[in-house]
Amino acid sequence: MELFIQQIFSGIATGGIYALLALSLVVSRLATGQINFAQGEMATFSTFVAWWMMTALGLPYWFVFLATILLSFFGGMVLEITIFKPFERASAFAQITVFIGLLLIFNGLSGWIFDYEPKAFPSSPFADIVLFQNNYLSSHEMGMLFVTLLVAISLGLFFQFTKLGLAMRASYQNPELSSLSGIRIGRLLAVAWGLSAAIAAVAGMLIAPIVFLDPNMMGSILLYAMTAAVLGGTDSMIGAVVGGLLVGIIENLIGTYVPFSGNDLKLPIALLLILIMLLVKPSGLFGKPVYKKL
């Protein structure tokens, strides 16, 4: 029983990692209609920049944390304006190709500039706060889950109740009508990219202390985060969080209780989950079905 509980909590901790990245995927999808495959690598790159600021420039943690979020926000906006803009009206395939290209570029950049040796991301302040000392979750993991929930709720409120958030959703759902109503779609897209890049940066900085920072840090996490997003609904914040936790827990339980090859099945199970979800309820557990007028 103890093992079961341990694995559940361990799954919740890993699930938190997936949920964070899934949130940035959902944001980019909510505003642009596409899942940004390069999100993981952008997160890694942002985290490297943060690492550099802390180690080479010796700046304090919270300053770097906020600075990286801001830099990533503006970086995301610049990316949209310079690279993605020509492809705004292009086919989904063309857009996906751009994302994959960005994935390769950022991965290469991270490796080239910061080299491939795993680096320890300086301990987050969460590690020092001993609130609920227990055997199940480290204080960093608890802090991370707290931040995940905070981000999810804030984003949910933002998209539901603020003018900007509503405008973003509108421009994704119906670009022509939105621009006719005076919404500057181009600007909103840039803001959306900035926002998802900023969230991805948060994800990277919170994940790095656990998995250690190297250019390929997010490679497999992106896959699980996508599973989480599909599971929970690619346009739902709560879906992303629940999806992430579910993927983490299921993965751990399979690894523990399926004999012989449990650990080998983690990745295939994740992909199977995507498949099943797309077959049974494509909009995910919390997503809204999309209806198209024929």
Judged by CB under 8 A, the chain residues 16 through 35 that form the site for other proteins are: 17
Q: Measured between alpha carbons, how far is 80 from 74 in angstroms, rounded to an integer? A: 10
Q: How far apart are CA 104 and CA 142, in angstroms?
A: 32
Partners of 213 in beta bridges? 119
Minimum Å gap between C-beta 177 and other proteins is 41
Which residue of 255, 273, 277, 284 would you call a contact of other proteins, by CB under 8 A?
Answer: 255
Nearest approach, Cβ of residue 116 and other proteins (Å) = 4
| Residue whose structure tokens are 């292009």 | 90
β-bridge mates for residue 119, sequence order: 213
Q: How many residues bind other proteins (CB under 8 A)?
A: 38
d(CA 22, CA 39): 9
Indicate which single residue of 186, 266, 283, 286 sits in contact with other proteins (rule: CB under 8 A).
Answer: 266
Q: Which of 220, 238, 274, 286 is close enough to bind other proteins by CB under 8 A?
A: 220
Residue 209 DSSP symbol = H
Rule CB under 8 A: say whether 135 interacts with other proteins.
yes
Interior angle at CA 207, CA 204 and CA 213, nearest 5: 75
State in Å, rounded, how far the first CA of the chain is from the last one.
53
Smallest distance, other proteins to C-beta of residue 160, A: 31
256 binding other proteins? (CB under 8 A): yes
Structural tokens at position 112: 């080239």
Nearer to other proteins, 235 or 251 (CB): 251
100-119 residues in contact with other proteins (CB under 8 A) are: 108, 111, 115-119
DSSP string, 117-135: S-BPPPPPGGGG--SS--S
- One character per residue 190-219, x = contact with other proteins (rule: CB under 8 A): --------------------xxx-xxx--x
Contacts with other proteins, residue ranges (CB under 8 A): 2-3, 6-7, 10-11, 13-14, 17, 108, 111, 115-120, 135, 138, 210-212, 214-216, 219-221, 223-224, 251-252, 255-256, 263-264, 266-267
